[in-house]
Structure 1
Amino acid sequence: MKKTVLSLTLAASVLALGACNDNESADSSKVIASSKVGDITQNDLYEEMKASIGDQAFQLLMIEKVLDSKYDVTDKQVDAQLKADKEQLGENFETLLAQQGYTEESYKKYLRLNLLQEAALIEDVEVSEDEIKAEYENTKNEINARHVLVEDEETAKKVKAELESGKDFAEVAKAYSTEPAAQQSGGELGWFGKGAMAAEFEEAAFALEPNVISEPVQSSFGFHVIEVTDKREVKESYDDKKAELEKNLKLEKADQAALLPKISKLLKDAKVDIKDKDLEKALDEFLAAGDAAGSTEQPAAEEDATTEETEK
């Protein structure tokens, strides 16, 4: 799964806090737990969470609100992305949730914010019909693969030898792979088409016959030892796939660096008035990002004056 969501939203605890805030009453003195040694109120929990992840939680909630005010992401789109992720990862989906600390509901909040940010990224990006058709032909075939990622070629050769000797792939992946997810996934990548992985990895993987262990393949991540377990041809028609392909092509062309200035402008236009003194600086880094982007562009009037002075 390729996700463009800002790194701050990767904290499941932040997302969980947002979900909690949606449902709790405004009575901060409400007792949410009682015991013989004392009670815990809603405000106790709020203050504790604010002290640990308050800025991140506030950033997430506010960014989601300003993006949602401009871009339309429906529950249907979120559910469709959730379904696609489940299909891609198969039985490893639940492992991913556990590893990242998500519940399915907090993962859906993560997906919604990701989709909102994608909408902001691609709103001004153009792709042609010919580009979409070419991508459709390019992604007709999918493979189901797994890999072991290591730091050097020597270790990769050792991994290949162990796999070819009949050792269990998942166990080898857990023993050697530098990819943290391998401890739960055993190196399984699920189904994917072209354009989903690093170019060097993809070229080698799609050239493999099923159940053949690859030679070490170097990418920017390290050295991969790959096995393709199955291949299939996508049955969806061009019309069914067009919208998804168009979006993916736009995301590839989009300038990721443009996202922060867009968010910054939306935050400024929203005129956010932070009442809690402990959180009053929580948005400063995002507001500053817009100022920094603006300072790199010379205003038109100033540029004309500069040009005129030069010509003199």
Structure 2
Amino acid sequence: MKKWIAAASLTLSVTALAACSDEEASEVVVSTNAGDITKEELYQEMKTTVGEQALQVMVLEQILEDKYEVSDEEIDAEIESMKEQYGGQEQFDMFLSQQGYTEDTFRDTLKLNKLQEKALIEDVEVTEEEIQQEYEQMQKEVNARHILVQDQETAQNVKQQLEEGADFTELAKEMSTEPAAQETGGELGFFSAGDMDPAFEEAAFSLEPNVISEPVETSFGWHVIEVLETREAEVDSFEEMKDEIEHDLKLAKADRTQASAMIQDMMREADIDIKDEDLATTFDAFLSQPEAPAEEPAEEETEDTES
């Protein structure tokens, strides 16, 4: 992502220079006692170094903006939320600086990301029941501990030892592959919906306190979980949170493996015509991929009738 945005921040300059008249192109942008650099020379250098990447970003954003809308208010809300998470403006500015962004270029990042999100989730469906269930989970916080191991057989063995009276903390320190387990004994503290791996979270939120879970598989390995206690969480009303929950659920359901194919299809539909010969091959990698075969409609079954 960072690479794409770095290119995007340069794209505006490249595009502006491309439209210059001869007089503007010869305008000096830097002068030293060793010589001058004109707008045209700068454009040619930028085109050589980041031209294709910058053009890809610009065209993608233009295509997405033609179909979807991201308002300044959405970006403002995201920025303010991140400032709160980082503890204020100063800490947020430090984060941006460490990542190589200014607030303006970071806003560009968020806008492009949100445009791509809207394209990705356009056809994803979420039911009212799913939204309500997620909201109910958000009203509860869980204090849990776990033991993480590499395979299901080991997880079953851990579960059996715990049920036979083994000390959870000591067993976690002995067997857990989690780096922090030696210090924490597998304790995670309180967490709420959306904080953990979905499979882990689903298991933890369905457990009663002091019950050992069946082994739960996540991308990290196999977990044996015990919930120590639960408590109510302070959240906004359902109506205030409904849209955000729906968006997050759709994003979780979306098939991200289809993102590249979706972008390729949109590029083809855009009928891209590059006027600059030096950039003529910019989209070859996108457009040369074979199109996904369209699904054939299922044939309707017909009953044989005697005439």
TM-score (norm 2): 0.65
Q: How does 1:75-154 map to 2 (within 5 A)?
A: 75-91=72-88, 92-140=91-139
* Equivalent residue letter for 2:179: A
Q: What is the distance in 2 between the residues matched to 1:84 and 1:155?
A: 30
Answer yes or no: is 1:13 the counterpart of 2:14.
no
Q: Determine which of 39, 50, 53 is the counterpart of 1:53.
A: 50
What is the Cα deviation at residue 232 of structure 1?
8.8
Q: What residue in structure 2 maps to residue 271 of structure 1?
A: 271
What is the Cα deviation at residue 62 of structure 1?
0.4
What is the Cα deviation at residue 154 of structure 1?
7.8
Q: Is the 8 A contact 1:264 1:288 kept in 2?
A: no
* Equivalent residue letter for 1:260: S
What is the Cα deviation at residue 236 of structure 1?
1.3
C-alpha distance after superposition, 1:176-201 (max 9, x if no partner) = xxxxxxxxxxxxxxx98422443588
What is the Cα deviation at residue 111 of structure 1?
0.5
Q: What residue in structure 2 maps to residue 239 of structure 1?
A: 239
* Equivalent residue letter for 1:109: D
Query: Gaps (5+ residues) in structure 1?
Result: 1-6, 144-151, 162-190, 207-217, 223-230, 305-312
What is the Cα deviation at residue 74 of structure 1?
1.2
Q: What residue in structure 2 maps to residue 256 of structure 1?
A: 256
* Equivalent residue letter for 1:16: S
Q: What RMSD in Å do the two structures reach over aligned CA positions?
A: 3.8
Q: What is the distance in 2 between the residues matched to 1:221 and 1:32?
A: 53
C-alpha distance after superposition, 1:189-230 (max 9, x if no partner) = xx9842244358869999xxxxxxxxxxx97469xxxxxxxx
Q: What is the distance in 1 between the residues matched to 2:104 and 2:82?
A: 14
Q: What residue in structure 2 maps to residue 156 of structure 1?
A: 179
Q: What residue in structure 2 maps to residue 71 of structure 1?
A: 68
Q: What is the distance in 2 between the residues matched to 1:79 and 1:66?
A: 23
Q: Is the 8 A contact 2:9 2:105 kept in 1?
A: yes
The higher-RCO structure (CA 8 Å, 6+ apart) is: 1
Q: What is the distance in 1 between the residues matched to 2:178 and 2:125?
A: 44
* Equivalent residue letter for 1:113: L
Q: What is the distance in 2 between the residues matched to 1:198 and 1:34?
A: 55
Q: What is the distance in 2 between the residues matched to 1:94 and 1:248?
A: 26
Identity %: 39
Q: What is the distance in 1 between the residues matched to 2:45 and 2:5?
A: 16
Q: What is the distance in 1 between the residues matched to 2:94 and 2:182?
A: 24
Q: Is the 8 A contact 1:140 1:233 kept in 2?
A: yes
Q: What is the distance in 1 between the residues matched to 2:30 and 2:201?
A: 52
What is the Cα deviation at residue 299 of structure 1?
5.5
Secondary structure, counterpart of 2:40 in structure 1: helix
Q: Is the 8 A contact 1:12 1:100 kept in 2?
A: no
Q: What is the distance in 2 between the residues matched to 1:86 and 1:142?
A: 24
What is the Cα deviation at residue 19 of structure 1?
4.0
Distance 1:196 1:113, change over 3 A: farther
Secondary structure, counterpart of 1:156 in structure 2: coil
Larger Rg: 2
* Equivalent residue letter for 1:160: E
What is the Cα deviation at residue 264 of structure 1?
2.0
C-alpha distance after superposition, 1:100-144 (max 9, x if no partner) = 21110011111111111111111111111111011112223579x
Secondary structure, counterpart of 1:130 in structure 2: helix
Q: Is the 8 A contact 1:33 1:41 kept in 2?
A: yes
Secondary structure, counterpart of 2:33 in structure 1: coil
